[in-house]
Structure 1
Amino acid sequence: MKSIYNITEYLPVRYNATLKQQQDRDMCFNFKDGILSTTVKDAFLKMVGEITKGEKTGWTICFIPASTSDKTKRRFSKLATVFSEVGYSVKENAIFNKYDTEAGHISGKSSNPISAFGFDKNAVEGKKVILIDDIITRGTTFKMTADKLEELGASSVIGLFLAKTICPAWSTRTTFFGNDYEPGFDDYEPEETYDNYNGSYAQDVEGWSDQDIDDVFDGDPEAYWNID
């Protein structure tokens, strides 16, 4: 069982937000665009310090790639520099984009969400890895990436996310992974339909319902390519 930590929460845009929830949304969007605020920087540093209990030896910080190499660099390079400057081992290219997947809704995509990732075994072998990304929703990409790192010799993998997706439609009944969860649906959810997003990869190949796409991707099936 993998341990997962998050700094804040992300409420999908289709839901009315409180002022705090809107601020958290903006913070997530800014981080995705490569804007590293002092608040976010300090929160990541604090959380990593708590995870490592102040120890730096034996730990390595890595990042889950975005859909393109350019987005990956823009999103994480400033945070990588921050961690390096305070003495952490940071391996920005331990996981890298073998190819970009942003146009995958046109060309098709493997059902394996990490098929576009390359891995540097030497960067993680024997290390305790903190694996960082922006938002966790279902956790599939994180779990598969973490499993691959352990297969390559990482002694442990802990996930650290700026935010976890919350959704009023999800049940409070959850399956826990560390201190985070995979959302579950209760018995009173409306019947799922598969009509509104016919022709999209998220629905036709990955099987996301209309309700899932509305809730998780704010009604944009192409946002599937940025999940996790």
Structure 2
Amino acid sequence: MAATFGKYPSLDKQWRKMMFSFYPYLSTKNRNATQEEWKIRRLIWDFKDGKAFSNVAHLVANKLIQLYGSETKNIIFACVPASSAEKNEKRYKNFSSMVCQLCGMCNAYDHIKVKGEKSAEHDNVDKNDIHNKQEIEFDQDFFKGKKVIVFDDILTKGFAYAIFANKIEKLGAEVLGGLFIGKTVYTTN
């Protein structure tokens, strides 16, 4: 993200915060993936389909406990909405509930409503169009004065994360940073 600093001043604040990803996610443009890279791809794809949420929930909850210990009880867990209300429910409803049960965080799922659809950041759309066809309604009272960790499945360039984090901070919350299953890479070492 460091190369992007300064180019999008309203997003820089979020990109300077903690952004942790568990795995490198090799772009599907690279067809020469190793067996391990295919395993990571399948985990992320299964998560997006609502299938692998338990494994990912344990991974995320353990990391949150490692980072914040007993303070997790004072932090809200909020997922960057998927491209539609249907996909958002399939992907995040059970997952966010399990993460919060495992680590004692407060679940924001029921306090964020998704209407309409958006393009995914990795669909190569202009950053200004990511959320233009999607309306996200927040329960402002729920977020005001709270600390928040943002979660998204894949960190590509960070626009979706930063835009969402900015919206949460406009409600009076403090975003501590973001967690991601994978961070997109385009070549292997």
Q: Please give the TM-score of this superposition, normalised by the length of structure 2.
A: 0.78
The equivalences for 1:76-95 within 5 A come to 76-86=92-102, 87-95=104-112
Instruction: Indicate if the aligned counterparts of 2:26 and 2:33 stay in contact, CA closer than 8 A.
Output: yes
Larger radius of gyration: 1
Tell me how far 1:109 sits from its aligned partner. Answer: 9.2
Residues 70 and 123 of structure 1, relative CA distance in 2, 3 Å threshold = same
Q: Please give the TM-score of this superposition, normalised by the length of structure 1.
A: 0.65
Higher helix content, 1 or 2: 2
Cross-structure match for 1:53: 69
Aligned Cα root-mean-square deviation (Å): 2.4
Cross-structure match for 1:3: 18
User: Match of 1:29, SS?
Assistant: helix
Cross-structure match for 1:149: 168
Tell me how far 1:36 sits from its aligned partner. Answer: 2.4
CA distance in 1: counterparts of 2:156 and 2:131, whole angstroms: 16
- Number of matched pairs: 165
Cross-structure match for 2:184: 165
User: Match of 1:80, SS?
Assistant: helix
Give CA-to-partner distance per residue, 1:65-104, whole Å, 9 cap, x none. 11110000000112122123233210103333122236xx
Q: Aligned AA for 1:94?
A: H
Q: Aligned AA for 1:88?
A: M
CA distance in 1: counterparts of 2:94 and 2:26, whole angstroms: 25
Structure 2 gap ranges (5+): 1-15, 120-124
Residues 17 and 54 of structure 1, relative CA distance in 2, 3 Å threshold = farther
Cross-structure match for 1:96: 113
CA distance in 1: counterparts of 2:34 and 2:146, whole angstroms: 40
Identity of aligned residues (%): 27
Q: Aligned AA for 1:24?
A: I
Instruction: Indicate if the aligned counterparts of 2:127 and 2:159 stay in contact, CA closer than 8 A.
Output: no
CA distance in 1: counterparts of 2:97 and 2:53, whole angstroms: 14
CA distance in 2: counterparts of 1:12 and 1:135, whole angstroms: 11
1:69 aligns with 2:82: no
Greater relative contact order (Cα 8 A, min sep 6): structure 1 or 2? 2
Structure 1 gap ranges (5+): 103-107, 173-228
CA distance in 1: counterparts of 2:117 and 2:148, whole angstroms: 24
